[in-house]
A and B are shown apart, each in its own frame.
Chain A
Amino acid sequence: MASEAVYSHRDPMLKKRDDFEDILEERRNSSDLRYALRCYTPVLYKGMTPCKANTLKSMVLQSNQLRYVISQVSKETGRATDDVREDALAILEEMAHSLQLSTVRFFAFTLSKVFKTLFRSICVNEEGIQRLQQAIQEHPVVLLPSHRSYMDFLLMSYILYTYDLALPVIAAGMDFMGMKFVGEMLRMSGAFFIRRSFGGDKLYWSVFSEYVKTMLKNGFAPVEFFLEGTRSRTAKSLTPKLGLLNIVMDPFFKGEVYDVSVVPVSISYERILEEALYAREMLGVPKPKESTSGLFKARKVLSEDYGSIHVYFGQPVSVRSLAQGRVNRCQFNLVPRHIPGKPSEEIQNFVNDTAYRLVRAQEENMVLKPWVLLASLLLQNHHQNQTAGQERGIALDELTAQAVWLRDVSREYGAFLNWPGVMTPSEVVSSSLSLHRGLVRICEGRVQLAVEQTGTGEPHGAVTPEEELLSQAVVVLSCASYRNQALHVFIRPALLASAIHAASSNQKQEVFNSFSFLRNMFSNEFILCPGATVQDFEEACYLLVKTRALQVTQQEVLVTERGQRTLAFLTSMLDPFLQGYQVICRFLCEEVADTLTEKQFIPAVRKFIVKHLLAGRLRYTEVLSSDLQKNALAALLRLGAVRKIKGAEPGTLKVNAVMVNSLEDTLGGKLPMQKAVSARL
């Protein structure tokens, strides 16, 4: 029961989803000022009254946990407790939010203006809002939105204000603090700031965790944070970070609250504001430091059309029912609860599993626009043409036909597709293409990616082949980020398709071995719940059998006639990743003599890939994505093919050439996959 609440493997077609309501519509028809100044009286947990920021701070400072840690730190460092307490206070001052209704009203007004210019609509599932309202009254609530844009948390607060719900306090990265005025504004609208890394700082951790727990336990406000830790530049969900999730579940484990409701929220943008910015960032043009002036420069984004946003508030998940039978809460009975301790293995596993499930719950309610399907098709077409040397692009009616086919397939796979029913397919396709006119070009009735002309992003034309390649890559990566939105729908069938492709026979066991090898290889790249290989395999089989692309018997896995097309599509979807990982393995074998540092890795591998791309040995420009490169490295580290050693510099990597080589060969189909698996095991 509990598992179904978060994510159900079985027939995705049967999933019932709520309808959407456009909240901008009312804004276009009534006064923004009146809206910003209207009476705002949200219902809080158990009818609590909101707590002043200062009261909250003193509650944190006086908490048993913090007092314990302060005295411990003072004993360890030999400093006076008062000094340490001063430190703690400073940390708290730096961190704490100071939510003010006036600031919220200011944002309500300005954001109304901004949103109306930028977006056609902001659609929210109102049933989800009602469920959330109920949940807030019953138990402390944690909001977990997906993170694709800076907009996300302002948007969340904006929506909650619109529906008269309690405003959340939001864990934000410290980098925002760099923006002088804006940082403070955000703080006053409910953001609290945490350092990106504070690994060993016991005091910091203690202040931080106590601050979050105090807000949560007392139900002063819903706590909001991003499970993915940071914005996903690729539109793929990121591997969840566990720290904060652990903190918000802790009060339940220790019996300090009866339950905690966790609400996954899926925010899908038809067009992401930071589209080109992300692509450049991944190509190595460093991310501009957040600054107020930078924000103003970004003004020109205001003149463009960014389509619509869909925000889906998922089913609140009870931590209690998830933990039922998995976590023995008695483990906290013998030690005073304020003494901080490392979470037990049981709890770590539970939190990890839950985090993955929650990310999948986010993914599952992501609304996919037709453009996402078009982007997938156009990308595949782009690469095929590149190698075949055919005429560039794809005929518009051919694209429409393929899109309709893909629409039906993805629906069968349970995609939450927002395909306007009132328009004809060709209208849908052309309106999508026109919204993303920066990325595609239609000439002579053929649609292609806008890679030829370099004028779109770069005012000065590229001169060197490398620069030209990079500017092409910006478009390809932007396009890939839209395709990536649909990856969670196709990833399991795609892994199976690739496994069938790679396996030397149709034997089910062999296909499974390939599948599990690939799944293992790519588990840093995609959201694949740990330890769920068999379920994922079964789910993939189920979907492909259901769409009559496969026949699965006790012993064998057979591709049907009509399945060829689906499987070809699925394999080419995964192919860039497969090739990318191979190139990175090759790089490690060929270029790294002995060791390299983590810092050197990205520039070096990028150079290597550029060389291969220019030489035509590699066709996928998207392999230039630093995200993919980092994920590949993480996978190799996890598999033990690369190890971190204590070298002269921190983060020195040592490559196990034999193993990397064999992984590369396996990925390339030169070695049977089960051998590699058993070699690893």
Chain B
Amino acid sequence: MASNSGSSSSSDRQRIAQQRLRIIAGHLQRSEDGDSSSTVLLAAECKAQESQKTAGCSGEEKTVPRKRHEIMKWNGWGYSDSRFLFNKKGQAEFTGKRYRLSGMIIPGLKDWFEGTFGASLQHKTPATPVLTSSSVPPPTLNEAFVEELKSTGIPFSLEAEDRVFRAHGHCLHEIFALREGKFGRVPDMVVWPNCHNDVVKIVELACKHNVCLMPYGGGTSVSSALECPPEETRSIVSLDTSQMNRILWIDEKNLTAHVEAGIVGQDLERLLNESGYCTGHEPDSMEFSSLGGWVATRASGMKKNIYGNIEDLSQFSDGFAVVNIVRTDNFFSLSLMPKAERLHQGQPPLLQDEEPWVWSPEVTMKIRPMPEYQKYGSVVFPNFEQGVACLREVAKQRCAPASIRLMDNEQFKFGHALKPQVSSIFTSFLDGLKKFYITKFKGFDPNHLCVATLLFEGDREKVLQHEKQVYDIAAKFGGLAAGEDNGQRGYMLTFVIAYLRDLGMDYYVIGESFETSVPWDRVLDICRNVKARIVAECKDKGVQFSPLSTCRVTQTYDAGACVYFYFAFNYRGLSDPVHVYEQVEHAAREEILANGGSLSHHHGVGKLRKEWMRDTVSNVGMGMLKSVKDYVDPKNIFGNRNLL
């Protein structure tokens, strides 16, 4: 951390600090006297910018404009035109035209919603409709920095809307505060670098004038990583990367692409698809989250079984190398834990998520040819235990499809409630028949059965072969194939879940999801205990209604799995619901750790889970992290204070 020791610091220390600063700036700059290839790259970058414009990929088509609030909600998830609501007839519908579910009536949602939470459509808690600029604290500006920035021509803004939009991620407490029209510390200004060199200039200026920089990508963080540290007295500048959204080159020989870090998932995929490629990285937030954010949090996409997690994808990035040392393939030798857990169990992390000193403006990543054939699928199991056993077997045989997820019974019912109105009598008849077959003929208890959703990708023949293999394993564990439709709806749920939270918040219901990774033998235990802990804590903290506490297994690894929990409750009758919520979530995380789960699988540590870092990486690990931070960023220019 930056030391403001003042008088006591000797000139010697200052000199060292200066030197380190130069090192940072040096890392960000292309070496002037490098070999020819790097000069070529430098040239290529500028060209890429030009060529894209000439190629017709005009700037107007950008998904994320500078003024994000023009198309996105300032106090909720996603696009302004897409939201759930209960219409006059009391039926749920999803507005807009962007999604498969858009414009559809969802008849089952109301009953499920009222039944699960004890909520009522009579009791509304509407959000503050508009942002009142006057309630946003005025910016603390570093005049010298602003002056010099102006001269560079890099666009920036001091407007309240822009600043508020970049002051938060999507943690419950952040959204809740916005809906109430409350703002804490917000960034003092927002800058939009357009290319690598802009970033270099901004960082240089920030170092020179001692300004705090906070990179901002998609703004989908759920670890309080974007929260401005309240103790920060310097001017905070939000570095919005949304304009750095170009693919700079594609190397078809090596199947790599060099991409600017601000590109959001959907653009990256769309642009690559145009050339016949894909990354295959599809986190649930891929519409809005950015490549830079993925790299920083070590994101995990739903199809990681084929394409890998982000650290497997990103070969090396520009600026600082985000070295792929943490989640290598041989983690078995290091510990029993999958993924991030290895790091959390004493394996010192070096460049871990949201490193407060690493930010890479450009990333080189692996790409794959687009799959020829895609097929959804689903399997019903008589109970969760059987489902987990099946997933374990699939992982053991290393034949996991692109995605395989197991929802527990509560989540299965949730997914079921999201079924849109069917148009034909025939379909509803078929549904009824299916239900009859499973519950009556096969004897599955509707209150215990659970569903695994599958997604296969690849060439047609292989997919069909693969499909058979997986269904054969499932059959051994009492699983029944339950159709493509169920599978597809399962994945849809993950894309609309965040919109659903906004709906809940209109009716006294608050909730959140969190994840962990855990060894296979503990999957069932952790699911049961964490869910039970949530219910017990809610009761203990005075929540009047029983909460929704559900989980799903979303990723499989050789040694373990990623488990995702959803937790929501009706807060009527509570004076400080967010505090209660935070207490319960805290307790749930403690339970996860006590049951052998990791601090995080892919959401990252941020500020939300900082308190457990020392216990998970040990004092030595913390010391190493601190010394790296002190070495590369002694003045704490990248001052978001995450992780440490």
Contact = CB atoms under 8 A, between A and B. Distances in A.
A333 B521 contact: no
A329 B345 contact: no
A255 B345 contact: no
A329 B526 CA distance: 13
B525 A255 contact: yes
Contact of B594 (A255, A256, A259, A334): A255
Contacts of A259: 532
B533 A258 contact: yes
Nearest to A328: B594
A131 B387 CA distance: 34
A255 B533 contact: no
B280 interface: no
Nearest to B344: A333
Interface string A246-268: 00000000111011000000000
Nearest to B597: A333
B522 interface: yes
Contacts of A254: 525
A334 B336 CA distance: 8
B331 to A, nearest CB: 14
Interface string B591-616: 00111100000000000000000010
Contacts of A286: none
A254 B593 CA distance: 12
Contacts of A337: 521-522
B124 interface: no
Interface string A320-333: 00000000111011
Nearest to A64: B521
A255 B526 contact: yes
Given A255-B522, A255-B529, A258-B529, A329 B335 contact: no
A134 to B, nearest CB: 14
A258 B594 contact: no
B345 A333 contact: yes
Nearest to B528: A258
A78 interface: no
Centre residue among B526, B529, B593 by max chain A CB count within 10 A: B529
B596 A255 contact: yes
A328 B596 CA distance: 11
Contact of A329 (B336, B528, B594, B615): B594
B521 A329 contact: no
A559 B473 CA distance: 80
Interface string A377-406: 000000000000000000000000000000
Contacts of B521: 336-337
A333 B522 CA distance: 10
Interface in B526-550: 526, 528-529, 532-533
Interface string B75-87: 0000000000000
A252 to B, nearest CB: 10
A255 B336 contact: no
Nearest to A329: B594
Contact of A256 (B335, B336, B525, B532): B525
A334 B345 contact: yes
A333 B533 contact: no
Interface string B313-344: 00000000000000000000001100000000
Contacts of A328: 594
A256 B522 CA distance: 8
A254 to B, nearest CB: 8
Find the residue from A258, A328, A333, A337 having the highest chain B CB count within 10 A.
A333
Contacts of B532: 258-259
Nearest to B596: A333
B136 to A, nearest CB: 42
A329 to B, nearest CB: 4
Contacts of A333: 345, 596
Contacts of B526: 255
A332 B528 CA distance: 17
A255 B596 CA distance: 9
Contacts of B533: 258
A330 B593 contact: yes
Contacts of B593: 330
Contacts of B522: 255, 337
B310 to A, nearest CB: 26
Contacts of B594: 255, 328-330
Interface in B489-531: 521-522, 525-526, 528-529
B319 to A, nearest CB: 36
B181 to A, nearest CB: 38
Contact of A334 (B335, B525, B528, B529): B335
Contacts of B595: 255, 329
B525 A332 contact: no
Contact of A336 (B336, B345, B525, B529): B336
A216 to B, nearest CB: 14
A482 B522 CA distance: 51
Nearest to B531: A258
A373 to B, nearest CB: 42
Nearest to A337: B521
27 contacts: A254-B525, A255-B525, A255-B526, A255-B529, A255-B594, A255-B595, A255-B596, A256-B525, A258-B528, A258-B529, A258-B532, A259-B532, A328-B594, A329-B594, A330-B593, A330-B594, A330-B596, A330-B615, A332-B596, A333-B596, A334-B335, A334-B336, A334-B345, A336-B336, A336-B521, A337-B521, A337-B522
Given A255-B594, A258-B528, A333-B596, 14 more contacts: A255-B522, A255-B596, A258-B529, A259-B532, A329-B594, A330-B593, A330-B615, A333-B345, A334-B336, A334-B345, A336-B336, A336-B521, A337-B521, A337-B522
Q: 7 closest Cβ contacts across the A-B interface?
A: A329-B594, A333-B596, A255-B595, A258-B532, A255-B525, A258-B529, A255-B529
